[in-house]
Chain A
Amino acid sequence: MNLAYRDIRHNLGRFLLTCVGLGLLLGVVLAMIGIYRGLVVDALTIARAPSVDLWVVEANTRGPFAEASRIPGDAREAIARIAGVAAAGSITYQTVETQHQGEKLRLYVIGFEPTRPGGPPEIALGRSIARNHYEMVADRSSGLELGDRIALGRSTFTVVGLTQYQVNSGGDPAVHITLPDAQKLQFDLAPPAQRIQLAQGADAASRNTVNAVVARLLPHASAEAVAETVRRWKHLAAITQEAQEAILTRSLVDRARRQIGLFTSLLLVVSAVIIALIIYTMTMEKLKQIATLKLIGASDRTIIGMIVQQAMALGLIGFSIGAAFIVNVKDFFPRRVVLEPDNVLILGIVVFAVCLLSSGLGVRAALKVDPATALGG
């Protein structure tokens, strides 16, 4: 006869309600872990999208994500000629706000050369850019559909392809357009400003500027050696892919990451305290029954087993409810919630450990119960 199971079955409604409450709390913990992971993954998505080994940016900057970087467009040809470089492509990044179907739309515009590194990683629907101008590959999170036409600057673009999960570190959906279109969007002055510049006798500024040149290396080439070669040109800096990812996670989203990390830790502590309180209260409510059990001959092992099994059942059911809840609602979050199996497993182990420790409080109280309290009313 399993006393823990019988007791749970007797108070099933209340037990399940407690499990649901605990499950929602653990669901929030899981969501925070997912948001934390999502933040890091999102921050790295754009940097990983071109699948390159080296980022060439403006000297003395850590661009193009952590700091602004502008380099001449012809730098790409020079980079492509360095020994060990398989291919190089110019790239621009900028954030643009526009209107779509009457609503404000914030986009992270990436300009790239369609035949060179820097383009979207995988087209989920539609095709890649095939024309030199006014075509766009957009991320699904933007809400744009194939065939949609959208105004960026003074040009109108047609969506020809859709990507998935391509957002910048701020969560803005990425759109890819050709480099000339992106340069025009980023560097062309508005007509009144152009007229003033011409009236002042200044030359029209060249728009052949890019934010970075990305390079893929040959299989056995050393990224650090190529970077060192690039650094000899005093106007350029080179960052390996590994270093770029480190900059993004340790610099760009570091505070947000730490903030969420700290909040998640606090939530875990709060959850642990709540689990401990629930289990302790469950035990305290049964002290008279425990005293009776002791008096009629139940061993300490029987009593401990009952409390620990109930604590484990509470943790297991609560955790399952929380995990199922978050898995089903995570796609409705405005930003990506990334839940890897190892995250879920680790939290599961933490909940298991917390339940075990928390049941220790209840066990301690139960073992201190004097069987004599069952006598005498």
Chain B
Amino acid sequence: MNAADERPPLVRLDRISKHFGEGETRVDALREVSLKVYPRQLIALLGPSGSGKTTLLNVIGCILNPSSGAMELDGEVVVRDGHWQRRDLRRLRLDKIGFIFQFHNLLPFLNATDNVAVVLQLSGVNTAAARERAVELLDYLEVAHRREAMPASLSGGEAQRVAIARALANRPRIILADEPTAALDSTRAQIVMDLLRRLAIEQDAAIIAVTHDEKIFDRFDHIFLLRDGRLDDADARPRAVTTSSN
């Protein structure tokens, strides 16, 4: 065990379940999922289509409320007995969570700098300071030379790096990535994964990614396999593939 292991997890899920519908139409998307993710870790969620990966990502991202269970994010109890413990989930997302999307989802009407700065401005940071921080981040991600470029003129790799910069703008400690390398070729996918690894260490953050990209499996500290919404009590510390137990 190293020093990081002694710290509390950034994400802690305790018997989280989520079902849609009732009676005959009831679908159990997540079944008592428990999970701990520590700072500086890269976690992959794997599973066939409909296994509950996106639902799990939505629950951790505070977009979807679970039906039961408890959740802590960065030491704060967010869900208890299936109920939100905090009203302002928007603010929670803004402060604690960064999102990286499959197709970068940059706003097409803002240039690279403003796509990053917008997150800061939504947090109340003034325009000049937000742009300054945005340029710093773009520089950190080695895409500052494209700071004035509109998303349509960026390459896939550049766009994804700008999207990562946006996810980091508010210095979140939890980064959720949805197929972050799906739109990239293998070389760029490796570059993005190197970048995420560096971020996890330097920003002291936890990164949870949904991916099907086998080329990058070896870049994760831990890979969880979800099947029919099940994921056994899993601690992210061991580097291994954990399968669900049915």
Residues of A within 8 A of B (CB): 1, 3, 6-7, 9-11, 288-289, 292-299, 302, 370-372, 374-377
Contact = CB atoms under 8 A, between A and B. Distances in A.
28 contacts: A1-B118, A3-B109, A3-B118, A6-B114, A7-B109, A10-B108, A11-B109, A288-B105, A289-B108, A292-B101, A292-B105, A295-B61, A296-B99, A296-B119, A296-B122, A297-B90, A297-B123, A299-B122, A302-B122, A374-B99, A375-B58, A375-B61, A375-B63, A375-B102, A376-B54, A377-B102, A377-B103, A377-B179
Given A296-B122, A297-B94, A1 B63 contact: no
B209 to A, nearest CB: 12
B144 interface: no
A370 B114 CA distance: 24
B93 interface: yes
Interface in B47-64: 54, 57-58, 61, 63-64
Contacts of B58: 372, 375
Interface in B118-154: 118-119, 121-123, 127, 130, 150
Contact of A372 (B64, B90, B123): B64
Contacts of B94: 296-297
B107 interface: yes
Nearest to B177: A375
Given A1-B121, A297-B90, A371-B63, A6 B99 contact: no
Contacts of A296: 93-94, 99, 118-119, 122, 166
B101 A297 contact: no
Contacts of B109: 3, 6-7, 9-11
Contacts of A10: 108-109, 150
Contact of A295 (B91, B93, B114, B121): B93
Contacts of B93: 295-297
Contacts of B178: 375-377
Contacts, number: 79
The 3 closest A-B pairs by CB, nearest first: A297-B94, A10-B109, A7-B109
Given A375-B54, A375-B57, A375-B58, A295 B99 contact: yes
A21 B218 CA distance: 57
B218 to A, nearest CB: 24
B110 interface: yes
A194 to B, nearest CB: 84
A372 B61 CA distance: 9
B102 A297 contact: no
A375 to B, nearest CB: 5
B127 A1 contact: yes
* Most central of A7, A298, A370 by chain B CB within 10 Å: A298
Nearest to A374: B105
* Most central of B94, B103, B107, B127 by chain A CB within 10 Å: B107
B117 interface: yes
A7 B111 CA distance: 11
B122 A297 contact: yes
A1 B179 contact: no
Contacts of A288: 105
A292 B107 contact: yes
B109 to A, nearest CB: 3
A371 B110 CA distance: 19
B99 A372 contact: no
Interface in B72-118: 90-91, 93-94, 99, 101-103, 105, 107-110, 114, 117-118
Nearest to B53: A376
Contacts of A1: 110, 114, 117-118, 121, 127, 130
B122 A374 contact: no
B119 A297 contact: yes
A6 B110 contact: yes
Given A289-B107, A375-B63, 4 more contacts: A1-B127, A6-B110, A296-B93, A375-B178
Interface string B18-57: 0000000000000000000000000000000000001001
Contacts of A375: 54, 57-58, 61, 63, 99, 101-102, 178
Contacts of B103: 377
Nearest to B121: A1
* Most central of A292, A297, A299 by chain B CB within 10 Å: A297
A9 B150 CA distance: 12
A152 B125 CA distance: 82
Contacts of B170: 297
Contacts of B130: 1
A302 B90 CA distance: 12
* Most central of A11, A302, A371 by chain B CB within 10 Å: A371
Interface in B182-204: 182
A296 B107 CA distance: 11
Nearest to B176: A375
A235 B183 CA distance: 96
Contacts of A3: 107, 109, 118
A295 B63 contact: yes
Nearest to A376: B54
A329 B246 CA distance: 78
A268 to B, nearest CB: 32
Contacts of B114: 1, 6
B208 to A, nearest CB: 12
A282 to B, nearest CB: 12
Contacts of B122: 296-299, 302
A375 B107 CA distance: 14
Nearest to B178: A375
Contacts of B121: 1
Nearest to A11: B109
A39 B103 CA distance: 60
